[in-house]
A and B are shown apart, each in its own frame.
Chain A
């Protein structure tokens, strides 16, 4: 077995144990399938509705990835502005915190009114949910630059912009990527919220919308869709960890563990 597969083993074993316990619970307690389907029902639904789930998943995946990209760009720009301007920090930071308490349905109708039934309202919702961790971690990353380092750059005649580009920006990169890893984890549920609050035209409205429909009529498929979202969030998180290692190799971790 390869080393990477070996590292995934504990997670796989734990997931199988949990699924086993779940299966036993449903069988022994005689739980209604409409309430909690057994894992084997979920698995067969995943298999039988694979095509439907996959097409909806593509829609959701596109929303999540584009929404996260938007959140990264906006979050990073806001973090830089906060770092450079104390006035902007004082004006904006409280609002950014407050924005995280915003119940999305409150603005859902407005977003649809502005941008219709396409992907744009979803991106706005996901970006709104995801930008915050990026801002917080990046601001801290920018502030953590050694002041002596900036002093040194000054004696080398570096301009403010050069000091920013040579010292602060690279120092903030790993922090921003850490923020992105937190963001992607909430971004998937963000897509669910986006799809269920802003309607979509077209045959495949995304996994979130599909799950909400299935909850009422096809509980095993709702669970099957949830399993897909689960896997997607995990895959995205580790893809970002890998990206961080490639983009910021100087932040080595003990034993090269991804987490």
Chain B
């Protein structure tokens, strides 16, 4: 049985989709902004993400990164090209916790949707709270949590959706530098325990190199992949590591070159 979901009814991919969790080919996507003007978000984006791989997508603001994630999650359909993906769940930029549910109930939202009882859903989420340093906050309302804690609850909600592909849209963008550093370490640790395929969108090149197996650099809008970097470094990685610095330089050069072009 295949877990592949095809979002667009075009010719099936010639090779069997086995090692790839996400396969995008020549994706284009144009949307209309609030004033009705056509905005081309993506132009000819091709990329693949292997099963269990962490792919970071970096690019300047407005280069269509969020559009790419929504295409992977099936929330949008491409105007051109094809995309196939194993079932994917989105962790949006904002935590979007429901204010009327407790932290545990928010984390267990997918279980509730899947028809589990309220008590069972809460119990399964609560069991993971300690791993995330959230012990004792199961019954807290979102407004009582700090920004970092809210992001962790949102991440737990994403994990508990039970889908093989996690699409993380700038998960730490709204956090202060210290909390962001902690969250990156924590995410890196969690991913070594919970093997999932991850597409991590960020505008922070260093964050991408610290967390990902591979980094795809997108050009300014309309986004295309202008550089792909393999990060063959053992984890945990240090920001001060020479390899990390040189990869960062390469990524920044690619971004800078695209900006001048």
Which residues of chain A have a CB within 8 Å of any CB of chain B? Answer: 146, 148-149, 151-159, 162, 166-167, 170-171, 248-250, 252
A158 to B96, CA, bound (A): 15
Q: Which bucket holds chain B's interface residue count? A: 20 to 34
Q: Which of B105-121 contact A (CB under 8 A)?
A: 109-110, 112-114
A7 to chain B, nearest CB (A): 24
Q: A162-B113, A166-B109, A250-B141 are in contact. Are A155 and B89 (CB under 8 A)?
A: yes
- Residue on A with the closest CB to B93? A148
Which residues of chain B have a CB within 8 Å of any CB of chain A? Answer: 70, 73-75, 88-90, 92, 94, 96, 98-100, 109-110, 112-114, 141, 143, 157, 161
Contact at A152–B100, with CB atoms within 8 Å?
no
Contact at B96–A148, with CB atoms within 8 Å?
yes
A154 to B89, CA, bound (A): 9
Q: Contacting B90 at CB < 8 Å: which of A155, A159, A170, A252?
A: A155
Contact at A166–B112, with CB atoms within 8 Å?
yes
Nearest 3 A/B pairs, CB to CB: A250-B99, A170-B100, A155-B90
Can you list 29 residue pairs at the A/B interface with Cβ under 8 Å? A149-B96, A149-B98, A151-B70, A151-B92, A152-B90, A153-B109, A154-B75, A155-B74, A155-B88, A155-B89, A155-B90, A155-B161, A156-B89, A156-B109, A156-B110, A156-B113, A156-B157, A156-B161, A157-B113, A157-B114, A158-B113, A159-B113, A166-B109, A166-B112, A166-B113, A170-B98, A170-B100, A249-B141, A250-B141
Taking CB atoms, residues of chain A closer than 8 Å to B98 are 149, 166-167, 170
Contact at B114–A148, with CB atoms within 8 Å?
no
Taking CB atoms, residues of chain A closer than 8 Å to B114 are 157
Taking CB atoms, residues of chain A closer than 8 Å to B90 are 151-152, 155
A253 to chain B, nearest CB (A): 13
Contact at B113–A153, with CB atoms within 8 Å?
yes
Q: Contacting A151 at CB < 8 Å: which of B75, B100, B110, B113?
A: B75
- Residue on A with the closest CB to B73? A155
B55 to chain A, nearest CB (A): 18
- Residue on A with the closest CB to B75? A151
Taking CB atoms, residues of chain A closer than 8 Å to B143 are 250, 252
Taking CB atoms, residues of chain A closer than 8 Å to B70 are 151
Q: Contacting A152 at CB < 8 Å: which of B92, B99, B112?
A: B92
